[in-house]
Structure 1
């Protein structure tokens, strides 16, 4: 369904800017893909009305770090450590054809939308060839979500700086489009600083943000200090993880104006040291949440928010509230991706990335007394009734509107069997 004017009527609205707040019996008016008003009894003239009675209405979730192609490897790295996980990627990744990448990325992106994730950074370290990269970009576009395509280097080698230039100039030149681009190299934890300098030069040349995994490794035991000494600290960087870094290095990230992505589910499952989200927030780093890898963790934001909330109760850090965690999943995530001007809250003028959760399901009954707590502690993907991306309805009455879902499911199963050698 696509309408130039949509009125979401009489919902339990949660806005997240500047901080999460619940607004009962509130409307959201959308026109030409943008939010134009939030309030009570807004005029319905010329609008398609969506009844939000007994529903929570809030900004779509923002997943700041996911390897979307791994939807074909779900559950492949359970009860293993990070080293074994990387070995699994090295074993199966080279078996993915461009068509397999398209199928797995499309399925993973649709999974995001189905669970209320409307914005997603795809750290696509499956760029074995230009055709692989094109397949991932095509799939993100076909899914209909807001995405940042992160051109990544496979763990077994691949990709090229020339292809980064090609994609930027020929495929993803428009930074205002629904699918935009970032550069996702291995970074200072896994490559020498001389290599990092060349990669940063490419990012500067192409005006791209940079994102990479960061931790203390034999290559660089203090990678953020190494960046500082090389003059490479800057704002347009999204650091992923950082669990093994000291507070002094995390403070450097904050002082540089950069941001971070914490993946509490995957970090816990793969043994990435103690939780980092609370430390990042305490030290002033804008921090979003990321699924990271469905090989090892759940693929929905509800599970992530609960993991972050519970982890914060168990470490020697200020305990996060439900409002803190919900903001990480929405506005802070958008800010971490450099997209806070267009998504992450219901502020008029922003693009209408909006989700609606049912309050009459058995697990959400009576939750209207505290909608923010309900979203973080009680809701799950089954409760996601309606999803809009830039005003386009992509899920309604609990069902995705994307055509060919059965075909995508069949092809994903075929890809999973093929790469597993069956």
Structure 2
């Protein structure tokens, strides 16, 4: 959706009427309804304008790509060493193996790769659509991506009738009536995606009879086609000469243009003809250097610009070398190739009045470069912004991309696209490229091949908040792996925790559930009770899956059943004198498959004997380096020690990240996990949390629903004491299993020893204002402060379990801050004493519910000043009210609904700040999704 946007105080690259480039420092660009309304200094925006601070940033026209084969994105990573002839047999003919779905995902991925690299317009020579359905899918992807361009529709080169291991049989070569009719149908529609995408023609078969060629041109132009593009090279027939002989070059009065591509085999006659006719020629220097292979490089036009510049200079240098001379001056400059990628590219496609430069009245196809992502670009940009962009820029230096005044990339991250009214993120798109294929033999299986080569994108399989919206994240991670070491289910709260865990099985990659002993049941295990709970899950898993996207589905009953393992039915360290248990074997295998980037979280609800077994086994069978590597891949969350192996583990493996409550053995009253529900039974923090929503009455109405809910028992002491050991893994944007001190639904824990000799995390406190208006400084509050959110979220999932009708259920909203979403923290820089704007106005709810925005400074994870320990700063003029917010940080609404806020910090502040957006839907039991913004002082 377009809106008023002010790009404020940047270095703006503009062109004059002679295409000369100027850089206007401290300049603003005002965008209104998709067009550039004003360029100048100190522009006063209208109310509700999205103000983007571009201080120390470069604002550039978007790049114009005049030749691309977007459908070939799946082929990246294949054929990199192919010659010109290899390309035709191994690569170009692969369109035969594409389904319409392959065409959609290839086209979409190609468009997004281009956007990520700053291309806002692409002329797509699409010669990979062997049926009208393939073309329709490709056009839909073009429109969905958000890029601007011309879909130059071609009939497939050598459209094959058959291709298998014995034969390749082409169809008779001609311009088919079915293709022309479909082309006419598309062209007569005018445009797609509100005018962003128009239909053109791509044609190369000039060896056909004259009447075939003329028929296509005349009918296409009559139907409304404005642009025709064609390859010209060593194909036998000279395209320029045929076009001239058939009188098909556009005349001054004609309303269409022709763009030729490549041309590195054109002779002087051809080049003179093109110059006289003023026909543009699009070069692709990397592919032309190899002969032909479009997918051997990334989609970066600046990479192409560098190649063009260097190859032209090399050619001149070699010519002079033969003469015994050296170059004194080069013909092409960085400004020349920058113009070829902007205003001259726009002129080539006859859109110079709409795009290609930053000028009042033109469409707002704009890039914002940051100087802080890479040293080379940042250094060069301070000397010469244009030279920096041409010579040093990479996709990661592009902080924002706007097409028609709509952000398609923001905060360095591509934004999700809409497909059929639903948000699709990069992780979903990459999942379509996951299956291996045998390309050369012509067997495409699954939904894709290859990867985005040369981009700075990171992908994840994380499901964000369980909604239909799957968002890109800032870190490359995978679904959170979890090995649950459950004590024997000899207490109601353990079985209750297992019920909750299963409702999050689509967000937590459960590698195994091991049944073990504990201090409460030291000599037996209860495998059957776990299987019984899974029996309830079996009956509801289809209902659960009806409420989540297919790529983030709940695992099958059999999958879960196969992952239940037994420990030894003996107490604690006695198991260390026995053969390795089934549970310990499974844990060892899961840890070996993990990595430091994708660690295995061991959530311990009972005794930790199985973990002790695994560690001892690894220590006895592997060298020291291998043991260290094994330990480094584990994250242990234990609610408390419930046998004698916890201390044993921590003493022997001090570099194992181990989170637990430390207290006298069996003195569980002091443990942080009581905050889940224990204030009435344990007599702490009463009046702070809402005790009514952990009562048996509330649970009866909201949780004990259906076959799975029937296993959620009544409690007598405390509800779900073990649940905090897995809540940090919930993908809601709050928790980070690598950062227990950040805080999550499972509580907050800090390092015991800052010397680096130990990685044990133990209890700490949060300052929270309770339901009764009183303040609490409490370790229990690190959990109960989130109670409404974790209880309402659980209740929603239990309702999913009994109702497969998506529209009748509630689902979590999607939080987007400054164009970024996902479970990983958003990291930004701030300058103490200056303000920073946080914008969540792009957030949305899958059920169409109204959204409530709650921004707050989570003081405790930050530094001392950020927590406000040094007192009140009068410069902020904050009212002295009861608040959990630091007196050194002020958050004020810039919009009535609070979706956009301004953050002000004290001048003396020099600490890391954690700002949390709690985004909730306005329902009776609001569901929450979070966005943690980590601000680091610069």
* TM-score of the superposed pair, with normalisation by structure 1: 0.88
1:392 is matched with which residue: 399, 406, 409? 406
Question: Could you say which residue in structure 1 is the equivalent of 2:220?
Answer: 203
Question: Could you say which residue in structure 2 is the equivalent of 1:166?
Answer: 185
Deviations 1:216-248 (Å, cap 9, x if unpaired)?
A: 433x2x432232222222251111111111233
1:313 match: secondary structure: helix
Give the drift of 1:410. Answer: 0.6
Question: Could you say which residue in structure 2 is the equivalent of 1:363?
Answer: 376
Q: 1:59 to 1:95 in 2, by over 3 A?
A: same
Give the drift of 1:415. Answer: 7.9
Residues 125 and 155 of structure 1 are in contact (CA less than 8 Å); yes or no, is this contact kept in structure 2?
Answer: yes
Question: 2:368, 2:231 → 1: CA distance?
Answer: 33
1:42-121 pair list within 5 angstroms: 42-46=43-47, 47-121=49-123
Residues 238 and 337 of structure 1 are in contact (CA less than 8 Å); yes or no, is this contact kept in structure 2?
Answer: yes
Question: 1:405, 1:175 → 2: CA distance?
Answer: 20
Give the drift of 1:174. Answer: 6.8
Question: Could you say which residue in structure 1 is the equivalent of 2:351?
Answer: 339
**Structure 2: which 5+ runs fail to align?**
161-175, 252-256, 320-329, 417-423, 446-938
Count of matched residue positions in the alignment of Structure 1 and Structure 2? 396
Question: 1:141, 1:91 → 2: CA distance?
Answer: 25
Q: 1:204 to 1:388 in 2, by over 3 A?
A: same
Q: 1:411 to 1:59 in 2, by over 3 A?
A: same
Residues 100 and 415 of structure 1 are in contact (CA less than 8 Å); yes or no, is this contact kept in structure 2?
Answer: no
Question: 1:152, 1:415 → 2: CA distance?
Answer: 28
Question: 1:54, 1:416 → 2: CA distance?
Answer: 45
Structure number with bigger Rg? 2
1:109-148 pair list within 5 angstroms: 109-148=111-150
Q: Are 2:28 and 1:27 aligned?
A: yes
Give the drift of 1:173. Answer: 4.6
Question: 1:196, 1:254 → 2: CA distance?
Answer: 23
Question: Could you say which residue in structure 2 is the equivalent of 1:283?
Answer: none
Give the drift of 1:250. Answer: 1.6
Q: 1:92 to 1:223 in 2, by over 3 A?
A: closer
Question: Could you say which residue in structure 2 is the equivalent of 1:289?
Answer: none
Question: 1:112, 1:130 → 2: CA distance?
Answer: 25
Q: 1:33 to 1:417 in 2, by over 3 A?
A: farther
Question: Could you say which residue in structure 2 is the equivalent of 1:377?
Answer: 391
Give the drift of 1:179. Answer: 0.5
Q: 1:356 to 1:237 in 2, by over 3 A?
A: same
Give the drift of 1:269. Answer: 2.1
Q: 1:126 to 1:13 in 2, by over 3 A?
A: same
Give the drift of 1:297. Answer: 2.4
Question: Could you say which residue in structure 1 is the equivalent of 2:776?
Answer: none
Deviations 1:228-275 (Å, cap 9, x if unpaired)?
A: 22222225111111111123312212222322211111111226xxxx
Question: 2:59, 2:285 → 1: CA distance?
Answer: 25
Question: Could you say which residue in structure 1 is the equivalent of 2:156?
Answer: 154
Deviations 1:303-360 (Å, cap 9, x if unpaired)?
A: 1110111112122496210000000001111111122121110010001000111112
Q: Indicate the larger mover: 342-351 or 246-255.
A: 246-255
Q: Are 2:202 and 1:184 aligned?
A: yes
Give the drift of 1:68. Answer: 0.3
Residues 187 and 224 of structure 2 are in contact (CA less than 8 Å); yes or no, is this contact kept in structure 1?
Answer: no
**Structure 1: which 5+ runs fail to align?**
272-291
1:373 match: secondary structure: helix
1:377 match: secondary structure: helix
Q: 1:406 to 1:416 in 2, by over 3 A?
A: farther
Q: 1:193 to 1:3 in 2, by over 3 A?
A: closer
Q: Indicate the larger mover: 100-109 or 333-342.
A: 333-342
Question: 2:192, 2:109 → 1: CA distance?
Answer: 25
Question: 2:436, 2:196 → 1: CA distance?
Answer: 27
Deviations 1:180-223 (Å, cap 9, x if unpaired)?
A: 011111243x54444322222123222322111012433x2x43
Give the drift of 1:90. Answer: 4.5
Question: 2:71, 2:192 → 1: CA distance?
Answer: 23
Q: 1:191 to 1:357 in 2, by over 3 A?
A: farther
Residues 180 and 220 of structure 2 are in contact (CA less than 8 Å); yes or no, is this contact kept in structure 1?
Answer: no
Please provide the CA RMSD for this pair.
Answer: 2.2
Give the drift of 1:91. Answer: 4.3
Q: Indicate the larger mover: 316-325 or 73-82.
A: 316-325
Question: 1:165, 1:410 → 2: CA distance?
Answer: 35
